[in-house]
Amino acid sequence: MGVLRLVLGDQLSPSLSSLRDIGPDDVVLIAEVAEEATYVRHHKKKIAFLFAAMRHFAAELKAAGHNVRYVRLDDAGNQGSLRGEVARALEAAPALSGVVVTRPGEWRLMQDMEAWRDLLPVPVELRDDDRFIVPLAEFFAWAKGRKQFRMEFFYREVRRKTGLLMDGDEPAGGQWNFDHDNRKRLPKSMVPPARFLPEPDALTREVIDFVRTRFADHFGDLEPFVFATTRAGAEAARDHFMAEILPGFGDWQDAMAKGEPWMWHSLLSMYLNCGLLEPLDVCRRAEAEWRAGRAPLNAVEGFIRQIIGWREYVRGIYWLKMPHYAETNALAAHRPLPDFFWTGETGMRCMADAIGQTRRHAYAHHIQRLMVTGNFALIAGLDPRAVNEWYLLVYADAYEWVELPNTHGMALHADGGLMASKPYAASGNYINKMSDYCGSCAYDVRARTGDKACPFNYLYWDFIARNQARLQSNQRMALIYKSFERLPEDEISAMRKDAAAFLDGLGAGTP
Ligand code: FAD
Ligand code: DLZ
Ligand code: SF4
């Protein structure tokens, strides 16, 4: 007797634990369902990317000889939920004696699946997702007894565990972290390299057309569609990155430039997160580039740290702290999300660029997410729930296990400092240092007050003033509060007045 093996949209890996012991009587279920496509109103491009990748993966499994039940969103009888589709598949094949599924990446769905055990007529087996490098039990053991969870120490343990960039017991190059080399501003003469941006194939085109009509009222553009939707395509993107882009990844990792969405970033997160690429394999290939002398250590270490460090660490934090994590609001921020987060229409050039490309590509690189939109949301006191929802729906790589800690913890400090030892708040000066946005902005980055003053400046000091009682005792904020106390009273009140007027004028937007 066979079993039903459910594969979710972000589980498109042949090595998936739920597929490991697949037999000839088993049925693999992959289902496009309204509940997953709309529990937040995902960017159109995210839905098209995932549905196309799911259809390609189903075709690959079929070609490998497996029985696949693929349910399209517009199929007659589609139940609209994963539970409904599992129940329907069991009814259609009464001989199936159980359901096997790899644990999902989001708490909400995990809760739902736990209940399937009572709701379905056959046993449900939930298997661990071992596509990650650090099993959750190992992360929990590492976290036990610690008051703060600093990524850097966790990262060193994963370096030792994997042997990545290790020379015996020592880190390659004598240092664990080369971040101080990775903060260069882009010189005017330097242009980011050409990218691997594949054309959609016929299957993907069909999905894009379907999404255009079915999800017309969702955020974002479908064109240009430049994501690969097959394993082979994702591998080609990976190989192009290794050969052409990785050497510059470190130097310009924190840089931003107007009209340049990609810079030297890998554009691999959407493939890693839906299972088309494997994290350890990608890291081993990056290390091989350094060992062969084709990429410098600061680039390769920086890249590997993002994957075996940050990516694994945020997943651990998510499962350690949910569900209460999402409920915290340590800085008591309650302002609704302004309309321009959906339209991109604002005189702030940095925000218009970051949101505009998010709308166009369902992608923004890390510094835009953290230091432009995230920083704005932090210093403007936007409600973490609204901001989390925005980040979860706008990016093609967004699933709650990775989105929530990055937004709630890193960007918004809503967890009270569990992830970041101080808020990533910055004035316009930081954005000016790391980008060329300010030169073509309607605002003046040097001005702190007045009509033309950069909003990041007065919002920053307003944030510092507003949160003085909460943040002043933080050692890492001591210098900032010293500077704050040296500011003339009348300048502080002028900035706070400008901040209040600006914030009052924002209004609230809906997707
Ligand atoms: P690169 O800069 O080329 O980095 C290489 C890889 O490292 C990425 O593909 C990704 O897998 C991993 N990585 C890098 N930084 C992080 C990080 N902080 N956390 C986890 N993995 C990381 N990443 C997501 O995958 N999904 C999200 O929903 C997401 N939301 C974010 C929200 C905010 C507010 C912030 C500040 C960051 C968020 N990130 C998220 C992390 C990071 O911004 C993206 O992983 C990265 O921009 C993806 O682009 P890339 O593949 O070109 O990354
Ligand atoms: C994001 C997404 C979307 C848009 N649609 C589907 C879908 O129709 N079917 C499916 O199995 N998965 C989809 N996903 C991915 C799931 O939301 C994801 O598996 C969970 O959020 C757990 O990470
Ligand atoms: Fe952004 Fe201020 Fe610079 Fe304008 S002046 S681009 S708002 S940092």
Is residue 403 within 6 Å of ligand 2 at its C-beta?
A: no
Ligand nearest to the CA of 40: 2
CB 464 near ligand 2, within 6 Å:
no
Q: Please tell me the distance between residue 63's alpha carbon and the centre of ligand 1 in angstroms.
A: 33
**Cα distance between residue 496 and residue 487, in whole Å:** 13
Distances (CA, A) of 122 to 82, 90, 101, 109, 307: 16, 9, 13, 19, 38
DSSP code at position 180: G
Going from the Cα of 259 to the center of ligand 3, the distance in angstroms, rounded, reads 15
Distance CA(170)–CA(450), nearest Å, equals 54
10 alpha carbon, closest ligand: 2
Angle CA 440–429–374, to nearest 5: 90
Q: Does ligand 2 lie within 6 Å of residue 270's CB atom?
A: no
Token readout for 224 is 């240009």
CA–centroid distance, 224 to ligand 2, in Å, is 23
Whole-angstrom Cα distance, residue 489 to residue 494? 9
Distance 509 CA to ligand 3 centre (A): 22
Looking at residue 458, its amino acid is Y
Residue 194: other Cβ atoms inside 10 A:
10
pLDDT along the chain (511 residues), means of 10: 96 98 98 98 98 98 98 97 98 97 98 95 97 97 88 96 97 94 84 94 98 98 98 98 96 93 97 98 98 97 98 98 97 97 96 98 98 98 98 98 98 95 96 96 97 98 98 96 97 98 82 55
Please tell me the distance from the alpha carbon of residue 475 to that of residue 423, in angstroms, as a whole number: 12
**Ligand 3 atom index nearest CA of 372:** 1
Cα(269) to ligand 1 centroid in Å equals: 6
Nearest ligand by distance to the CA of 404: 1
Reduced 3-state DSSP string for 186-202: CCCCCCCCCCCCCCCCH
What is the pLDDT at residue 508? 67
CA angle 479, 483, 485 (to 5 degrees): 115
pLDDT at 511: 55
> Is residue 148 a contact partner of residue 421, using CB atoms and an 8 Å limit?
yes
Pick from 337, 366, 410 the residue to mutate for probing ligand 1's pocket: most ligand atoms within 8 Å of its CB.
Answer: 366
Cis peptide before 384 (omega within 30 of 0): no
Considering every ligand atom, which ligand is closest to the CA of 277? 1
Q: Whose CA is nearest to atom 1 of ligand 3?
A: 350
The number of residues making up the chain comes to: 511
Q: Which ligand is nearest to the CA of 352?
A: 3
Which residue, among 110, 59, 137, 142, has the nearest Cα to 399 in the 3D structure? Answer: 110
Q: What is the structure's pLDDT at 199?
A: 96
Q: How far apart are CA 174 and CA 78, in angstroms?
A: 57
**Token digits of residue 169:** 């017991």
| pLDDT reported for residue 186 | 87
Question: Pocket of ligand 1, candidates 276, 394, 406: which has the most ligand atoms within 8 Å of its Cβ, to mutate?
Answer: 406
Domains of the chain: 4-127 (3.40.50.620), 136-198+230-321 (1.25.40.80), 340-504 (1.10.579.10)
Q: How many CA atoms lie within 13 A of 143 on its CB side?
A: 22
82 exposure class (CB count in 10 Å sphere: 0-12, 13-18, 19+): buried
Q: What is the pTM of this model?
A: 0.97
* Amino acid residing at 424: Y
Q: Of the candidates 118, 3, 9, 155, which has an alpha carbon nearest to the alpha carbon of residue 66?
A: 3
Q: Are 278 and 131 in contact (CB under 8 A)?
A: yes
Q: Which residues line ligand 3 (CB under 6 A)?
A: 348-350, 428, 431-432, 437-438, 441, 443, 445, 454-456
CB 32 near ligand 2, within 6 Å: yes
Radius of gyration from C-alpha coordinates of the chain: 24
